[in-house]
Amino acid sequence: MGRETASERKVVAGAADLHVRRDVPSSRERFSSTIAAFIQGEAQYLFLNGDTFDQKATYDDVTFVAGELQKARLAGKRIFGLSGNHEERMTDPKHQKVISMLSEAGVEFFDDQLVELEGVVFVGVPCILSKPQQDGIHALPVREQAAAMQRQLEETHGETFEKLMEEAKRREKPVIVWFHNPPIAQAYGDELSNYDPVELPGRFAKAMDPHVVAVALNGHLHGKPFKGVRLAETPEGILIINNAIGVMGGITYVTLPESIGDIPAARTITGRRIQSQ
């Protein structure tokens, strides 16, 4: 049998920061087009890694999104959800009600959990902080907010993440990590070009073993410096993808490694595919 080509490899789809809200009609249009593209595309699994909703979203928005996602479920696809900071700040409905409504529509939430699909372990790291924690961060000067957010997230989710990574390593299979907030305070910047190395200080980074973690994806960063999918690579070789493209429409496709030994090839294919889009 001949060697698989990139087009024959299995992929998963991801989109973060769709920020659906009724009073911004274009956000609903983008969401519908994203789900339609997923249904028509090659990926069987879609990971929505946070801020599917804006914090001002309503029950009507959640009902709309649930209806769109049910179309994908009826097409035989699976959707996995991760909570972002905007879901946590929603008030009508509240965060847990949002999870309940989307779960009824078939969304599988993996906040602080892992799931194994196609021989790959996927780990989910949400951005769940209390309102006082978030308010305290937002009260700081802008230049200090990223580092403060990172500290709070590592205090809230760090121990669980370390345990999940230990379990993932025991399974001896490739790992893909989905964050909402980036795993470092200063992951990207105006000066960062594709594949520039980035340092990854902090608790999340130390727990990611480059021998088993193929790719880490984050949302959250969709301001002016971050238009489009951005790539970086840690000195140890982990591919970091800023997946916060929902506000512009679009899906990121990640190639699945076939084994731990296949991780470098899968990283290369993913990077090339993203750069060519």
Helix (H, G, I), strand (E, B) or coil at 177: strand
Beta pairing partners, 55: none
Q: What span, in angstroms and rounded, lies between the C-alpha atoms of 13 and 42?
A: 9
pLDDT of 189 above 50: no
| DSSP symbols for 208-227 | --TTTEEEEEE-S--SGGG-
Choice between 1 and 122, residue whose per-residue pLDDT is larger: 122
pLDDT of 128 above 50: yes
For the ranges 90-99, 226-235, 247-256, the lowest mean pLDDT is seen at 226-235
pLDDT of 236 above 90: no
What are the residue ranges of helices labelled H in 17-117?
25-40, 59-74, 85-89, 95-104
**Per-residue model confidence (pLDDT) at position 225:** 54
DSSP annotation of 197? B
**Per-residue model confidence (pLDDT) at position 188:** 45
Q: What span, in angstroms and rounded, lies between the C-alpha atoms of 67 and 161?
A: 32
Q: What span, in angstroms and rounded, lies between the C-alpha atoms of 60 and 49?
A: 21
Question: pLDDT tens for residues 23-79?
Answer: 999 999 999 999 999 999 999 999 999 899 988 999 999 999 999 999 999 999 999
**Per-residue model confidence (pLDDT) at position 255:** 93
Beta pairing partners, 230: 242
The answer to whether the beta carbons of residues 80 and 117 sit under 8 Å apart is no
The answer to whether the beta carbons of residues 187 and 151 sit under 8 Å apart is no
**Per-residue model confidence (pLDDT) at position 152:** 85
pLDDT of 249 above 70: no
The answer to whether the beta carbons of residues 271 and 216 sit under 8 Å apart is no
Question: pLDDT tens for residues 130-170?
Answer: 778 878 887 888 767 777 877 888 888 999 999 999 999 99
Q: How far is CA 185 from the centre of its chain?
A: 16
**Per-residue model confidence (pLDDT) at position 275:** 67
> How large a percentage of the chain has pLDDT more than 70?
85
Preceding omega of 93 cis (within 30 degrees of 0) = yes
**Per-residue model confidence (pLDDT) at position 193:** 45
pLDDT of 245 above 90: no
